[in-house]
A and B are shown apart, each in its own frame.
Chain A
Amino acid sequence: MEQIGFLPPKPAVLSRRREIVGDLKDLLPEGCLVHEPRSLVPFETDAFVSYRRAPLAVALPETTAQVAAVLKYCHRYGIPVVPRGAGTSLSGGAIPQEDAVVLGLSKMTRILEVDYANRTATVQAGVTNLSISDAVSADGYFYAPDPSSQLACTIGGNIAMNSGGAHCLKYGVTTNNLLGVKMVLVDGTVIELGGKALDAPGLDLLGLVCGSEGQLGVVTEATVRLIAKPEGARPVLFGFDSSEEAGACVADIIGAGIIPVAIEFMDKPAIEICEAFAQAGYPMDVEALLIVEVEGSEAEMDGMLQSIVEIAGRHGVKVVKESQSATQAALIWRGRKSAFGATGRIADYICMDGTVPLSQLSNVLRGTAEIVARHGLRVANVFHAGDGNMHPLILFNANDPEDAARAEAAGNDILKLCVDAGGCLTGEHGVGIEKRELMRHQYTDADLAQQMAVRAAFDPQWILNPSKVFPLEGRPAV
């Protein structure tokens, strides 16, 4: 199996390991540096578990000043730094390398300020996504982006990956809900970008930093938008006889000018997996399922649903099932959000994340099925259909190296198909190491050179998360 490569470790860094550990200990409080080989194991990989590397050490600072001290030190000695939130990246964004110091934000978990009059929350980067909504829920607010890993993933990781989630169709992704950050540049300089005002002077550096996968600096605090919770929300299940019909129905709903909060898609294998796990009451006699969530007052939801049911009718919808209670609504979402975990119980899988224009949904679903069949594998599709963000889960046996190689090859073919259909390699999971070598399929050399030049404006030595995002060949000389 052809392995995804990492940059070769720097001998000059490896040979100074003992000294570096000693120096970092001096920079951090007691208990904030992990360096015993056995304690490093949990930091060797993230949710892209096919790959792992033991880091040189793990720094777990408690303050922005400590983050700055670690970065300044690593910058001075050219030591690679891999920032880490909760380690839930599906693309290997947080996987370290042998000569790297992992900079984990897991001790920075304070909510610093909630400001309802300005509808903002300011939090430390290690705060989990869900805990922001939990903190403001009783007062009628929430934080909108909701990646499936929201119980564990951190806001710092969300910013690094510009994370999305099921409800982004209406509310946008992280970049649309992020107002400001405090971040540490590679040389230890602390800067603030944005804030409670909507306009910041100069270039939109906040927009650039969001989704930069830990390559431009380390965010330590964030100010995010809070939104008043809708009066009510209701997920409704629509079952179809074919994936194509479900896909076409999605395009027609959006085309009719109706924007529900979420439109999620599951094919039969995904329905079976999720139903077995969550007992959410998904219909089992259909080939494809849409979960459409509407929100507002009862009257508003009824009005919107009526239009959606009408459109679904034109696509031969077989089952329409409204959730009958808050408990059932929660189960419907629990089933959807546990899709990856539930799939992991029956097989190993890799999850693709390509996004395609809505008019291409049906074509790409068909193409995906053909590709996977050609490689002799199985696939379950569960994804954010409303914005064309597809998540085929390619099932394989990780103990069989040939099977694993076939899965990776099938994944690459699917992503190329997404790009060729007018889409992109990744809608919300990030490039990480996983899709790094496919970047040339989406971008020309000039496109990539411009991105790498901008990266170098932040980190001329390429020490921040250096094995990620950009193909290893053809990088500018450091």
Chain B
Amino acid sequence: MTIIHDPLSEEAASRIVRAAVAAATPLEIRGGGTRTLWSGSTNRDILSSAALSGIVAYNPAEMTMTAKAGTPLGDISAALAERRQMLAFEPLDLRPALGTSGIPTIGGVFATNASGPRRYVAGAARDSLLGVRFVNGSGEIVKAGGRVMKNVTGLDLTKLLAGSRGALAFLTEVTFRLLPVPETSATIVVSGLNDAEAAAAMATAMSMSVEVSGAAHLPESVCGRFAGGRLPAGAATVLRLEGLAGSVSVRSEKLQAAMARFGAVSSLDVEATVQLWREIRDVHPYADGTARPLWRVSVAPTAGHQLVAALRLEAGIDAYYDWQGGLVWLRMEADPEADLLRRYVKALGGGHATLMRASAEAMAATPVLQPQAEAVAALSARIKDKFDPAGVFVGAFAGA
């Protein structure tokens, strides 16, 4: 029988970990459980951060917040919204696409490095994370980093913990930086481009001094499902501008003028912009209630459309692009085709393909995370051993 431990303190978490090591019982670390991809074994107990909840410190003037790991993301967003601040990296909500329920936690956001559209210019969750407290696999309570923006004191274990998916340690508290919510935003839409033309248009937009903070391409097959149907017919290449109202309008004119040579140009107001980018972030078109295989593929921006073009010849797929083309959300019509996909990822300069969703059988039969090069996997395994010598945490990352 699976026991769910939800300690109220770091000390209690430490005791649970020590007891699990002594009893040789594996522990699966869990936040809200909304981003769990595939936990593999069921022969383990759960170590949950649910009871470690609450904002510990919020100093808007310093643009930093400290919160216990199990604090619901919604609580944090609400507190930030009151002071018109936000998480720069736009954490995505995977519940609609994965069909998970539960409450996303701030610890889960950082443990999975969950980052949305602004990531390609403003950094990922790991870039906003300033410090952590955690319980390692020996039950020791450890802190790393701090609460200031610039800190190079010792090894950056904070980065290592971000995205470690519960394989190294149980996060108990996180400190992260914030940004002001932009006064306004707008989206420039270029219509009717094929994937390759869109890649060129996005690269051009990024070469301009207009600070585009979102660049996505929504092919014809998906574009009607965004922004309540407010996008013009045909494929939409969308470019987001944010900032002070005066500045956004100046930049918007400049960008529209430059984009006119690629295709028909229109724009979306702030309300439609907010909805559109939330839907792009949360994989809205593939939140279809099915178990059709869903991949999140990260490659170089110019490689995205080449990958999709190559796959189309060999499998039934549907796709759209974020991060200037470097993030491909890919839905397979039948099998996951992991080997095929990863072969093309490698041929196009490398990257990361994560199987986010598939039937239980397919999830079990497929390496969900991208395998690492042998020497790097060996190094990762040695690092895992330094955090968790008994191997009590069953969190998965490739190579461990």
A313 interface residue (CB < 8 Å to B): no
A252 interface residue (CB < 8 Å to B): yes
Which of A198, A210, A431 has the most CB atoms of chain B within a 10 A radius of its CB? A198
- In the complex formed, the residue of A with least CB distance to B378 is A189
Q: Is the CB of A197 within 8 A of B352?
A: yes
Q: Is the CB of B398 within 8 A of A201?
A: yes
Within 8 A of A (CB), among B137-170: 140-144, 146-160, 162-164, 167-168
Per the bound structure, the CA–CA distance linking A254 and B64 in Å amounts to: 11
Per the bound structure, the CA–CA distance linking A286 and B6 in Å amounts to: 57
Q: Which residues of B contact A252 (CB under 8 A)?
A: 61
Per the bound structure, the CA–CA distance linking A155 and B222 in Å amounts to: 42
A296 interface residue (CB < 8 Å to B): yes
Within 8 A of B (CB), among A283-302: 296-297, 299-300
Q: Contacts A118-B301, A211-B156, A300-B247; is A198 near B119 (CB within 8 Å)?
A: yes
One of B71-79, B100-108, B280-288, B382-390 at the interface: B382-390
A117 interface residue (CB < 8 Å to B): yes
Q: Contacts A427-B151, A430-B152, A446-B142; is A118 near B300 (CB within 8 Å)?
A: yes
Q: Which residues of A contact B85 (CB under 8 A)?
A: 257
Q: Contacts A189-B375, A191-B376, A454-B160; is A357 near B150 (CB within 8 Å)?
A: no
Q: Is the CB of B349 within 8 A of A254?
A: no
Q: Which residues of B contact A275 (CB under 8 A)?
A: none
Within 8 Å by CB of B376, from A196, A205, A259, A300, lies A205
Per the bound structure, the CA–CA distance linking A450 and B388 in Å amounts to: 11
Within 8 A of A (CB), among B55-114: 59-64, 84-85, 113
Within 8 A of A (CB), among B341-360: 349-352
Q: Which residues of B contact A197 (CB under 8 A)?
A: 298-300, 303, 326, 349-352
Taking the closest CB of chain B, its distance from the CB of A190, in whole angstroms, is 8
Q: For the side of the interface on B, what is the size category? A: 35 or more
B206 interface residue (CB < 8 Å to A): yes
Q: Which residues of B contact A228 (CB under 8 A)?
A: 206-209
Q: Is the CB of A255 within 8 A of B113?
A: no
Total A-B contacts with CB atoms under 8 angstroms apart: 270
Within 8 Å by CB of A162, from B156, B300, B384, lies B156
Which of B144, B149, B159, B251 has the most CB atoms of chain A within a 10 A radius of its CB? B149
Per the bound structure, the CA–CA distance linking A191 and B350 in Å amounts to: 14
Per the bound structure, the CA–CA distance linking A448 and B162 in Å amounts to: 19
Q: Which residues of B contact A454 (CB under 8 A)?
A: 155, 157, 160, 383, 386-387
Per the bound structure, the CA–CA distance linking A212 and B160 in Å amounts to: 12
Q: Contacts A189-B375, A207-B162; is A422 near B147 (CB within 8 Å)?
A: yes
Q: Which residues of A contact B386 (CB under 8 A)?
A: 450, 453-454, 456-457
Taking the closest CB of chain A, its distance from the CB of B53, in whole angstroms, is 23
Q: Is the CB of B143 within 8 A of A447?
A: yes
Q: Is the CB of A427 within 8 A of B150?
A: yes
Within 8 Å by CB of B385, from A119, A195, A259, A457, lies A457
- In the complex formed, the residue of B with least CB distance to A119 is B206
B379 interface residue (CB < 8 Å to A): yes
Q: Is the CB of B126 within 8 A of A451?
A: no
Q: Which residues of A contact B244 (CB under 8 A)?
A: 300, 303-304
B277 interface residue (CB < 8 Å to A): no
Contact pattern, B 107-127, Cβ under 8 Å of A = 1, otherwise 0:
000000100000110011011
Within 8 A of B (CB), among A166-205: 168, 172-173, 175-176, 185, 189, 191-193, 195-205
Within 8 A of A (CB), among B246-291: 246-247, 250-251
Q: Which residues of B contact A6 (CB under 8 A)?
A: none
Taking the closest CB of chain B, its distance from the CB of A258, in whole angstroms, is 8
A29 interface residue (CB < 8 Å to B): no
Q: Is the CB of B64 within 8 A of A457?
A: no
Taking the closest CB of chain B, its distance from the CB of A293, in whole angstroms, is 15
Q: Is the CB of B298 within 8 A of A198?
A: yes
Per the bound structure, the CA–CA distance linking A67 and B264 in Å amounts to: 53
B371 interface residue (CB < 8 Å to A): yes
One of A36-44, A316-324, A384-392, A399-407 at the interface: A384-392
Which of B119, B150, B152 has the most CB atoms of chain A within a 10 A radius of its CB? B152
Q: Contacts A204-B162, A357-B59; is A211 near B372 (CB within 8 Å)?
A: no
Q: Is the CB of A356 within 8 A of B136?
A: no
Per the bound structure, the CA–CA distance linking A448 and B155 in Å amounts to: 9
A428 interface residue (CB < 8 Å to B): yes
Within 8 Å by CB of B154, from A192, A297, A423, A443, lies A443
Q: Contacts A387-B150, A469-B154; is A443 near B143 (CB within 8 Å)?
A: yes
A425 interface residue (CB < 8 Å to B): yes
Per the bound structure, the CA–CA distance linking A255 and B63 in Å amounts to: 7
Q: Contacts A428-B152, A451-B154; is A259 near B179 (CB within 8 Å)?
A: yes
Q: For the side of the interface on A, what is the size category? A: 35 or more
A426 interface residue (CB < 8 Å to B): yes
Within 8 Å by CB of B152, from A422, A426, A444, A470, lies A426
Q: Which residues of B contact A455 (CB under 8 A)?
A: 155
Within 8 A of B (CB), among A226-260: 228-231, 251-252, 254-255, 257-259
Q: Which residues of B contact A189 (CB under 8 A)?
A: 375
B397 interface residue (CB < 8 Å to A): yes
Q: Is the CB of B379 within 8 A of A191?
A: yes
- In the complex formed, the residue of B with least CB distance to A216 is B155
Per the bound structure, the CA–CA distance linking A448 and B380 in Å amounts to: 20
Taking the closest CB of chain B, its distance from the CB of A76, in whole angstroms, is 18
Contact pattern, A 137-164, Cβ under 8 Å of B = 1, otherwise 0:
0001100000000000000000001101
B203 interface residue (CB < 8 Å to A): yes
Per the bound structure, the CA–CA distance linking A303 and B142 in Å amounts to: 45
Taking the closest CB of chain B, its distance from the CB of A164, in whole angstroms, is 6
- In the complex formed, the residue of B with least CB distance to A430 is B152
Q: Is the CB of B352 within 8 A of A192?
A: no
Q: Which residues of A contact B362 (CB under 8 A)?
A: none
Q: Is the CB of A199 within 8 A of B247?
A: no
- In the complex formed, the residue of B with least CB distance to A139 is B207
Q: Is the CB of A450 within 8 A of B379?
A: no
Taking the closest CB of chain B, its distance from the CB of A167, in whole angstroms, is 13
A116 interface residue (CB < 8 Å to B): yes
Taking the closest CB of chain B, its distance from the CB of A351, in whole angstroms, is 14
A277 interface residue (CB < 8 Å to B): no
B29 interface residue (CB < 8 Å to A): no
Q: Which residues of A contact B141 (CB under 8 A)?
A: 446
B residues adjacent to A (C-beta < 8 A): 59-64, 84-85, 113, 119-120, 123-124, 126-127, 136, 140-144, 146-160, 162-164, 167-168, 179-181, 199-200, 203, 206-209, 211, 243-244, 246-247, 250-251, 298-303, 323, 326-327, 349-352, 369-373, 375-377, 379-380, 382-387, 397-399
The 6 closest A-B pairs by CB, nearest first: A207-B159, A257-B180, A255-B61, A197-B351, A196-B300, A199-B298
A residues adjacent to B (C-beta < 8 A): 116-120, 140-141, 161-162, 164, 168, 172-173, 175-176, 185, 189, 191-193, 195-208, 210-212, 215, 228-231, 251-252, 254-255, 257-259, 296-297, 299-300, 303-304, 355-359, 384, 387-389, 422-431, 435, 439, 442-444, 446-451, 453-458, 469-470
